[in-house]
Amino acid sequence: MKVSDAVGTFAMVFILPEDLNLTSGSPRYHRSFMDIYLSQFSKTYLFDLIEYQRILKQRNALLKTMKDGEKKSGAAELDAWDNNLVPAALKIMAARTKFLQEIESNVERIVWELSGSREKVKIAYKPRIEVDNAGDQAAALSFFQKFRIRDKKYGTTVAGPHRDTIEISMNRKPLKEFGSLGQKKTVMIAMKLAALDVMSAHLMDSAILVLDEAFAEFDSDRTKSLLDLLSGGGQVFLASADEKGLSDVYDDIRVFEVEDGKVTER
């Protein structure tokens, strides 16, 4: 069974300690976030992404031979690759734009609730191809051609969806530079929960949520606010070394303990 055959049949969102990279790491984590969750409910997006990466690999191979002097001129070949690359790139950009628009208001709401109405967050998709109209292939082709000298110099494609990022700000300041660890984790969780809602809506079924050490760096107020958000939703799995009295507050929680490789329900 191919991975693409499973798209649209089973959706999960994981919130893991390393996911803090989404709000504190490099832009590659932004692209991974969009690709993972869009691909789970859209086969079209997954196919467009695979096609883009296939063509990009070939284009970069050509640019490397030009940089290394193995090929003196490759303008005609670059034109051919660009004519195939641009349609896939524009489709990816359009899907990412729509996805970010779908989760934006939920991210703002969740951060507002988790922070006790103290923090306002804004997220915005920042594509590396600058076109006024997302369907303007001529403008996108012109954009790629504008970067050709730089592409040849570095032997790789320096602009395109593989370089896209998400701009995240809190209280009008860049979150990565000015946010605390707790604030960055709050926004990361909000983005994941918003993606969960969008996936569930597209699939018309509740996606499964798995959280590992979700309460680390959270004070008691944020912990309770997060639990309130999760209560009454779909199926949720929480893993933590500190139970924090969950079963005393919510009677619909089943608690399992793992000790020496043995799992027992309490």
165-170 and 173-174 strand pairing = antiparallel
Q: How far is CA 251 from the centre of its chain?
A: 33
DSSP states of 133-163: STT-HHHHHHHHHHTHHHHHHHTS--SSGGG
Give the pLDDT band of residue 103 (cuts 50, 70, 90): very high
Domains of the chain: 3-265 (1.20.1050.90)
32 vs 42: CA distance, rounded Å: 15
pLDDT of 1 higher than 50: no
More confident residue, 226 or 248: 226
pLDDT at 154 (0 to 100): 93
Nearest residue to 40 via CA among 80, 97, 99, 83? 99
Task: Please report how the helices 75-114 and 28-41 are oriented relative to each other, as an axis angle in degrees rounded to 10.
Answer: 90
What tokens does 82 get?
């660009």
Q: Provide φ and ψ at 34, rounded to 5°.
A: -65, -45
9-18, 50-59, 73-82: the lowest-pLDDT one: 9-18
